[in-house]
Structures are given as C-alpha cells and as structure tokens.
Amino acid sequence: MKMQAFTVENIPLIKERDNIASIICERTSIEDNDIIVIASTIVSKAEGRMFRLEDITAGEDAKRIADKHGIDARFVQAVLDRSHEVLVEFPILLVETDNGHVCIKAGIDESNVDKGYMADLPTDPDQSAKNIGEGIEHQTGKKVSIIVTDTNGRSFKIGQTGIAIGVYKIHPIKNWKGQKDLFGNILEITEEAIADEIAGAANLLMGEGDGGYPVVILRGLEFRSEEGSIREMYRSKREDIIKKGLRCLSKV
Ligand code: GDP
Ligand code: MN
Ligand code: MN
C-alpha cells in the first residue's frame, strides 16, 4: 500500500480576507480524494482572527489566574473569553473552547503571527474547512476532503503533534467495530482517529517554525465521505471521565 504526502510550495504570508482555496488551487493540481491539510494559523489569519493585548481589559478571574502563572492578565482574559470551561487553571491553563476543543490557552498563538498580534483559533473550524473545501471543489471540479489542524500537546506524553480541529467531507473516526482481526476475532471497541493521524502525518512536513508550509496534501487514501464533523471525535459529557476527574481536582 502506498500514500503520498507533499507540501504546496510558495504560499505567501496570509492576510485577512485572502482566499485560501484560490491560493492552493493556483499553486498545485488537485485530484479526486485528495485530503488537503491546512494549518489553523493561516485560516485564522485569512478570517481576521488576530487581536492585540492592548485592546483587552482583564477582569478579576483573569488577574488571579495570571498571577499564578506570572503572565499577562490580558492574555488570560483573552483565553477566558474564548473558553466554555476552564478544566485546569494551574500549572497549565487547560480549557474547552466554545466549539468543544480541549487545549492549552484556548489555542491562542503568538508564533508565525505579526509582532504584537495574537491569533485565535478559527471560531468554527468545521465551517472554515467547508468554506475552503467548497471553494476548491468549485474551482477544480475535483472531490476533496479538508482537515484544519493545530499543534497540541497530549496528556500522558511529552511532545506536541498535529491534531485535527475541523473537517470537511471526512469522518474523523474510522470505526473498526464488527471487523475481524487476523485470527477471526471480531473487533469490539477499536475506533481509529484517522483525522488526527492524518494531521500528525501532515505536520511532519509543515514543521513548527519558519518553513512556510501551512498546506500539505495527502494522496492515495480513500476516506472521503459525504458527511463529517470534528464533533464526532469529542466524547460526550457523560463518557468523558478525564474531564470529570479534572473537575474534581479543581475543587480540592
Ligand atoms: P499551527 O500548527 O496551525 O499553529 O501553525 P504553525 O505556526 O505551527 O505553522 C505551521 C506551518 O505553517 C509552518 O511551516 C509555518 O512556517 C507555516 N506558516 C504559518 N503561517 C504562514 C503563512 O502565513 N504563510 C506561509 N507560507 N506559511 C505559514
Ligand atoms: Mn497553533
Ligand atoms: Mn504547528
């Protein structure tokens, strides 16, 4: 079996209102079933999700949390403004964003962004993926999938990896339940997080620094579907025992 992964070359520094679909189509030829992986940083820039600390006034909660970390309270206020729930205040500021993604500091990024500015995550990354995907399909006539990614840490291991935060025309989970293993045993629980696996693979080419490779195409996989939302990956409130545990910890 074989798949290809390659970067889209010569993507400029992205500015507000840039059309990412056109920028991609002008620089590479797309084929049916391509999975186009896009770093959230450029989606945020194109959607104008940049802000400055000068424009924020910190409230009491933000000041209290910022004191513990020794960081700017206005930054913490920005995190709180984008958070549905704070899961851990200290020593890490771990939150669930309004669209259900759990990450450090609401995914607000200072790297690869103009000096003095910060970039939010896209507000609705599935919608961002859809807008770009429909743009590409319209311009090329090809049927593609899109995955919008960010770089995240993991709970039990050091090191960050690319993960999916928004998808278009791909189910983020591949369900193996009911299929057989090599010995004929029926698989009962395995759900493969293909969107995160693809994001991780693409991130190997993107890197985290000044490479300038925010778009990676994976070719040779057949995962395109008519539906798909990142929400399919998020555990329900009832099932998420890690979140329940964190809530208990924050009370002691
Ligand atoms: P994140 O993982 O979405 O937070 O994005 P990163 O900051 O890790 O950047 C991922 C890749 O995109 C790196 O190769 C960056 O150099 C590149 N990158 C980020 N912003 C831009 C941009 O505006 N233009 C180009 N060409 N590359 C960018
Ligand atoms: Mn980021
Ligand atoms: Mn990154």
Ligand 1 within 6 A of CB of 212: yes
DSSP state of 186: B
Q: How far is the CA of 193 from the centre of ligand 3 (A)?
A: 19
Task: Quickly list DSSP for 53-86.
Answer: GGG----HHHHHHHHHHTS-HHHHHHHHHTEEEE
The pair of three-digit structure tokens given for residue 204, joined into one six-digit string: 């190997």
Q: What is the DSSP letter of 136?
A: H
* Domain extent listing, the chain: 1-49+124-236, 50-120
Indicate if ligand 1 lies below 6 Å from the C-beta of 211.
yes
Q: Which of 19, 11, 62, 37 is nearest to 216 (CA)?
A: 37
**Which pLDDT value is given to residue 95?**
97
Q: Which residues surround ligand 2, an ion (CB under 5 A)?
A: 109, 150
Q: Do domains 1-49+124-236 and 50-120 have the same CATH topology?
A: no
What pLDDT was estimated at residue 249? 85
* CB of 105 sitting under 6 A from ligand 1: no
Task: Give pLDDT tens digits along the chain (252 positions).
Answer: 999 999 999 999 999 999 999 999 999 999 999 999 999 999 999 999 999 999 999 999 999 999 999 999 999 999 999 999 999 999 999 999 998 999 999 999 988 888 889 999 999 999 999 999 999 999 999 999 999 999 999 999 999 999 999 999 999 999 999 999 999 999 998 999 999 999 999 999 999 999 999 999 999 999 999 999 999 999 998 999 999 999 888 776
What's the CA-to-centroid distance between 239 and ligand 1, angstroms? 34
DSSP 32-49: TT-EEEEEHHHHHHHTT-
Three-state secondary structure call for residue 65: helix
C-alpha 33 to ligand 2 mean position (Å): 26
Q: Is the peptide bond before 91 cis (omega within 30 degrees of 0)?
A: yes
Q: Is 206 in the pocket of ligand 1 (CB under 6 A)?
A: yes
Q: What is the pLDDT of residue 251?
A: 73
Q: Is 39 in the pocket of ligand 1 (CB under 6 A)?
A: yes
Q: How far is the CA of 187 from the centre of ligand 1 (A)?
A: 39
Ligand 1 pocket, 43 CB below 6 A? no
CATH 3.30.1330.100 assigned to domain 1-49+124-236? The reply is yes
Report pLDDT for 116.
87
Six token digits for residue 208: 């985290």
- Assign a CATH topology to domain 50-120: CofE-like fold (3.90.1660)
**Does the Cβ of 126 fall within 6 Å of ligand 1?**
no
Tell me phi and psi for residue 248, to 5 degrees. Answer: -65, -45
Closest residue by Cα to atom 16, ligand 1, is: 212
